[in-house]
Amino acid sequence: MTKAEIVAEIATKTNIEKVAVQHIVEAFMETIKGSLANGDNVYLRGFGSFVIKKRAEKTGRNISKNTTIIIPAHNIPAFKPAKTFVGEVKEKVK
């Protein structure tokens, strides 16, 4: 499902114009990105959590040059679904 399909689905269910829904969805995503960029996790009860995972420094290999490189420690965004979310998906997929 694409962002455009999500906007269309929400607009249909709420009877709000697609343009307004698109602004809301964009603002929602920007708020989550901004929060994670500032080091704050986002918790949505019953849906899941957008969290920052810390990756430790590690040694990698450049296969084409046959050399080792150091990959510095860094943070990455991650999503952890809520237990109810996981349970609902498992039931629907069966």
Residue type, 62: N
51 and 29 together in one domain: no
64 and 32 together in one domain: no
75 and 36 together in one domain: no
24 and 58 together in one domain: no
pLDDT band for position 92 (cuts 50, 70, 90): confident
Residue 51, pLDDT score: 97
61 and 34 together in one domain: no
Chain segment 38-82, per-residue pLDDT in tens: 999 999 999 999 999 999 999 999 888 889 999 999 999 999 999
Distance of CA 56 to CAs 33, 72, 76, 79, Å? 22, 7, 11, 19
Burial pattern 30-42, b for ≥16 Cβ within 10 A else e, equals: eebeeebeeeeeb
Q: Compute the distance between CA of residue 73 and CA of residue 51 in angstroms, rounded to an integer.
A: 17
Domain holding 30, by residue range, is 1-40
Chain segment 15-26, per-residue pLDDT in tens: 999 999 999 999
State mean pLDDT over 11-35: 96
